[in-house]
Amino acid sequence: MDMVFRAINDASRRLLLDALFDEDGQTLGQLCEYLPTMTRYGVMNHLRVLEEAGLVTTRKAGRNKHHYLNPVPIREMHDRWISKYAESTVATMVAIKTAIEGDHMSHPSHVYTTYIAGAIADVWNAIIDGDQTVRYFYGTRVESSWDPGSAIRYLDGEGTVVADGEVVSYEHESRLEMSFHARWDPELEAEGPIREAWIVEDVDGMTMLSVEMYDVDPASKTYANFTTGFPLIVSGLKTLVETGKQLGKQT
């Protein structure tokens, strides 16, 4: 049971399970497409953890190994504890079950991941605190109450809204999902909002930060702009948390 909890306590591994839910029997090469910024070896390691936990089974056909979703361990957790604990624990188990068995998000259009030598609380604060974002997010200050459904705005030094959106879901020091509508470029604005998820997790004492982008046409200007912008933003956040200093001069 510990291995199951460990296996699903990772956004990339949950994404692989979602991919197999959508299309069972995929090969390593196919699954690598869901994590384009991760090495083939990294995806193999994630699949190994899932297989050891019994959440994925494999079958060889010629030179290819095919991966299949096995949701039985999730069901076993549900049956073991659903009648014993209070509502908050039941809600957690339902969320885990939902991640495997349905009602889940589509796979991201793009994922950017980095490891930060800092506490989760410090990384999370850098994401939601305007005094922090102004130092790495192209000089913009974020404003929001962070309640689901509330507005979110990024303001430049003159107070002009350069991007806005809405908080879709907020799990403190864990996951922020939101819509994001660029306003600084008429062409980007015309393409409409995208959906982002900012996810922080502890990995062997390091904080893993993943930024996922959804609902974006790979051929769009938005995709080209954001896939080049994310690495700079996340690198700036990483430098700020680890050193307290700003990464170069962002304009």
Asked if residue 135 has pLDDT above 70, the reply is yes
The per-residue pLDDT of the chain, averaged, comes to 85
Fold of 2-101: Arc Repressor Mutant, subunit A (1.10.10)
- Check residue 23 and give its pLDDT: 86
How does DSSP assign 21-44, residue by residue? HHSSSEEHHHHHTTSTTS-HHHHH
Q: Which helix (H) or strand (E) holds 165?
A: strand 161-171
Q: Which of 141, 132, 145, 123 has its CA nearest to residue 199?
A: 123
Q: Which of 234, 187, 217 has its CA nearest to residue 110?
A: 217
Asked if residue 223 has pLDDT above 70, the reply is yes
Task: Render pLDDT for 9-66 as a digit per residue (tens, 0 to 9).
Answer: 888 999 999 898 888 889 999 999 999 888 999 999 999 999 998 888 888 877 888 9
Given this structure, which CATH class describes domain 110-243? Answer: alpha beta
- Check residue 251 and give its pLDDT: 44
Would you call 245 helix, strand, or coil by DSSP?
coil
Domain with CATH 1.10.10.10 in the chain: 2-101
Task: Render pLDDT for 196-207 as a digit per residue (tens, 0 to 9).
Answer: 999 999 988 899
Task: Render pLDDT for 161-188 as a digit per residue (tens, 0 to 9).
Answer: 999 999 999 999 999 999 999 999 999 9
Domain with CATH 3.30.530.20 in the chain: 110-243
- Check residue 103 and give its pLDDT: 45
Would you call 180 helix, strand, or coil by DSSP?
strand
